[in-house]
Amino acid sequence: MSFKSVAQSTNHLLMIEPASFFANPQTMETNAYQIDDHASVEDTSARALQEFRAFRDRLVGHGVSITTVIGLEDCPDMVFPNWFFSLAGRRLMLCPMLNKNRQDERSPAIVSLLSSMYPDVVDWTEYEAFGLSLESTASMVSDRVNGKCYAALSARTDEGLARKWAEFMGYELELFNTRSHKGGPVYHTDCVMWIGSTVAGVCSECIVDEDRQRIVSSLRKTHEVIEFNNDQLRSFCGNALEVVGMEGQKMLALSERAMNALDERQLSQCHEHFSKLIYSPLETLERYGGGSARCMLAELI
């Protein structure tokens, strides 16, 4: 079966408002972008909540439809909904997560809400018992129109599950390896790259030498490509998402930090393909969570 879509992006997103937010100790080993300076949970949570609401409201103000649900107290990364895919044909896939408090993010209330919208549920969470993970759109960045997906291998993106997912979807798979500024793999593919309808952004500098040209060339077959360097990766330029306004206009959602890190040529390329760049300050979420704008947005297709 193929799940190719007629559209790359959507007007409807799910966002999870953080009930509590702090640097997750369970994910620090694999996420090189988290910083734990032992700030108070109360202060960090308050600032994260303010950033979350400002970003959500900015998206809504530009005509993006947002469904908001409330997270759980003991799940500090719940603001980053990486545990499910919504798929064409009203199908929902529940994904295996690496860390225990990320597995706990699958609250029965939210699963029930999603199941009412997507009644055909595919559950892959059994792979957690074997220490395997495939963390949804964070692990698999999809070119939905052309039936292709990209996966940067890491502890959170298992090669076997990536291949199984691509086969399930009827997608061509491009696997590759990366190296972060600390030497290990970049923990999520959606920190490395994003794919819009006509343009894609990729931090080519972090892709290992033997894979770099293959991945960039693959993207260029169907898209104009904006390449980022490693400093821009650390500013979350790769963690953006094409969204759709009420009148069908394509826009790019990203953080203020990522926006400010783009050079003039990259900005010009973005403006050629998007009617608007929607950005908002996300410093607290980026600093303590090691994720940014795209991580916060779950597409409801």
Is 66 within 8 Å of 246 (Cβ atoms)?
Answer: no
72 belongs to a structural domain: yes
Q: Is the pLDDT of residue 4 over 80?
A: no
Number of domains in the chain: 1
Domain that holds residue 218: 12-299
Is 75 inside a domain boundary? yes
Per-residue confidence (pLDDT) for residue 6, from 0 to 100: 74
Residue 217, judged by CB atoms within 10 A of its CB (0-12, 13-18, 19+), counts as exposed
Is pLDDT of 154 > 90? yes
Residue 110 covered by a domain: yes
pLDDT over 90 at 3, yes or no = no
HSE on the CB side for 254, CA within 13 Å?
A: 29
Using one digit for the tens of pLDDT, what is the confidence trace for 188-201? Answer: 999 999 999 999 99
What is the distance between the alpha carbons of residues 82 and 165, in angstroms, rounded to a whole number?
A: 15
| Mean pLDDT score of the chain | 97
Residue 6 counted as domain residue: no
Has residue 4 been placed in a domain? Answer: no
Does residue 78 lie within any of the structural domains? yes
Residue 25 inside a domain? The answer is: yes
pLDDT band at 64 (very low <50, low <70, confident <90, very high): very high
Q: Give 211-223 pLDDT, tens digit per residue.
A: 999 999 999 999 9
Residue 3 maps to a domain: no
- Give residue 279's Cα distance to chain centre: 15
The CATH number of residue 61's host domain is 3.75.10.10
pLDDT (0 to 100) of residue 31: 97
What is the gyration radius of the CA atoms in the chain, in angstroms?
Answer: 17
